Structure formats: structure tokens, C-alpha cells
């Protein structure tokens, strides 16, 4: 019996011929300071990638350009065959920022409903309840996320990112502010998304996560300095500034 690839959280079957994420000569300059030097990178569909580097190495810049939130200075980014920032690209990816923002007048539950309905999720309530339970937030569903602590805001952001369909999950420093239980819950959600066929690119210093991925990509001063499996790699050396 032939085997087919599992459908991703978007419900679409991955096409191995199309990279989930590709950059071609991608650069970003802030004045005369290069934040990202020419970068050629391809991430196949279904791959689990950790993006590491010191603060200011270019990780967030790369992810924000991939998410369509920041214009490149040169080159381009392709997401699931679509130019970054296009409707097709935005439909395909979910973005978890390290500094999540929320509406001042919506409860957590109302945020979940809004995001789910915006992305066409019909039976969203069971999924929302399951996410809140796994992240330890069932008692905060009627509270306003803008009043939350850093850790609770991070958990709320994770729930919002996971409630919608996606083929590619881009995540920037998701473990900051999370307690041990929250980290375990997030790792389990990442595993579930990966098992369902989604592609994950996660910028992090969390070694517990790095040791679980298939590929480790490291930036230093905006330049690619490592691209390969994490086994036997001195991650601490990769995150040190030059």
C-alpha cells in the first residue's frame, strides 16, 4: 500500500517540490548597517528548523521579512510558492512574535474566536478549549490579555497562533517568560504541528528545543555561519557575538 504525506494543519497535503520557505539573495540594511547579508536558504516542507544566533544576529529580521512584516533591502522571500506579504503567503503561515500584541477590549476567548473565524475555522470552539487547557489558561478565557504577565501573554499568543490553519509556523523566541509547564506544553504543540506535516522555523536559545530539530541554522552579524543537523554542534559557540 502506498503512503501519502499527512495533511498539514492547513488541511493541504504538502508538495515536496515546493519549499515551505526560500530566500534568494535576501538582504536588509538599516542605514549603513547591514542587518542581514545576502542569504540563500531553502527549507523543505515538513522540516523542523531551529534558528540561532546572538542578539542582533539577524534572526528576527529574517523571520519578519518571511512573515511579510518587513520589506527586504534586496533579494526576495518565497513562502509556499508565494511572494512574502502576498495573500497566498499570509494564508499559508502563522507568525508568533516575541512581543505579542492584543486588542485592548477583547477577552482571550474573543481573540480566539476572531482569529479562527478570520481564517475560516468553522468548528473552532473545541480546538480553542483544548489549546487553553494544554497551555493552562482555561480560567483566563474571559480575561483581557493586555493585562497578563509576560508569561501569560506568551501563552495567549501561542494559542492564537495555533488556532488558525497554517503550512509554515514562524516563531521568534517563544520560550521567554514561560515556566517549565508552559515550555513542555509548547514543545508538545510543536511536535503535533510537525507530525501533521507543518514546517516550523523557530528562533530560540532553548537547547531543549534545539536538540529536537532536524536542522540548525545559525546567523552571526547577519551572515549565515552554520547550516546542518544539530548533532555534535556547539550551539553555545554559535550564539556568541563576534
- For residue 124, the tally of other CB atoms under 10 A from its CB is 17
Q: Is residue 187 part of a domain?
A: yes
Q: Is residue 216 part of a domain?
A: yes
What are the tens digits of pLDDT across the range 139-174?
999 999 999 999 999 999 999 999 999 999 999 999
Q: Is residue 5 part of a domain?
A: no
Q: What is the percent of the chain with per-residue pLDDT over 70, rounded to a whole number?
A: 94
The pairing of strands 82-83 and 33-43 is: unpaired
Containing structural domain, residue 123: 21-230
Provide the pLDDT for residue 17. Answer: 81
Give yes or no for residue 236 having a pLDDT over 80.
no
In this prediction the pTM is: 0.91
Range of lowest pLDDT (11-25, 101-115, 144-158, 178-192): 11-25
Give yes or no for residue 33 having a pLDDT over 90.
no
Give yes or no for residue 51 having a pLDDT over 70.
yes
CATH number of the domain at 29, please. Answer: 3.40.50.300
Sheet containing 168-172, strands listed edge to edge, beginning at the edge strand earlier in sequence: 93-96, 168-172, 199-203, 48-52, 215-220, 223-228
37-73 exposure pattern, b = at least 16 Cβ within 10 A, e = fewer: bebebebbbbbbbbbbbbeebbbbbbbbbbbbebebe
Amino acid at each position: 500500500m502506498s503512503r501519502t504525506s499527512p495533511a498539514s494543519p492547513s488541511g493541504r497535503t504538502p508538495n515536496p517540490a515546493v519549499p515551505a520557505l526560500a530566500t534568494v539573495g535576501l538582504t536588509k540594511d538599516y542605514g549603513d548597517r547591514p542587518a542581514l547579508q545576502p542569504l540563500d536558504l531553502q527549507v523543505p516542507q515538513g522540516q523542523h528548523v531551529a534558528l540561532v544566533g546572538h542578539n542582533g544576529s539577524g534572526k528576527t529580521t529574517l523571520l519578519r521579512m518571511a512573515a511579510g512584516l518587513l520589506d527586504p533591502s534586496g533579494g526576495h522571500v518565497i513562502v509556499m510558492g508565494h511572494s512574502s506579504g502576498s495573500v497566498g503567503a499570509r494564508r499559508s503561515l502563522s507568525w508568533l512574535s516575541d512581543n505579542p500584541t492584543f486588542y485592548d477590549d477583547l477577552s482571550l476567548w474573543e481573540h480566539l474566536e476572531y482569529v479562527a473565524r478570520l481564517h475560516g475555522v468553522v468548528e473552532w470552539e473545541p480546538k480553542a478549549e483544548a489549546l487553553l487547557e494544554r497551555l493552562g489558561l482555561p480560567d483566563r478565557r474571559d480575561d483581557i490579555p493586555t493585562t497578563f504577565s509576560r508569561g501569560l501573554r506568551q501563552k495567549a499568543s501561542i494559542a492564537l497562533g495555533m488556532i488558525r490553519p497554517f503550512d509554515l509556523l514562524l516563531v521568534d523566541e517563544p520560550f521567554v517568560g514561560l515556566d517549565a509547564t508552559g515550555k513542555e506544553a509548547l514543545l508538545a504543540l510543536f511536535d503535533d504541528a510537525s507530525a501533521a506535516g507543518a514546517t516550523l522555523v523557530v528562533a530560540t536559545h532553548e537547547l531543549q528545543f534545539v536538540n529536537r530539530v532536524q536542522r540548525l541554522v545559525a546567523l552571526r552579524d547577519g551572515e549565515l555561519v552554520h547550516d546542518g543537523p544539530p548533532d555534535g554542534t556547539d550551539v553555545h559557540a554559535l550564539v556568541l557575538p563576534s
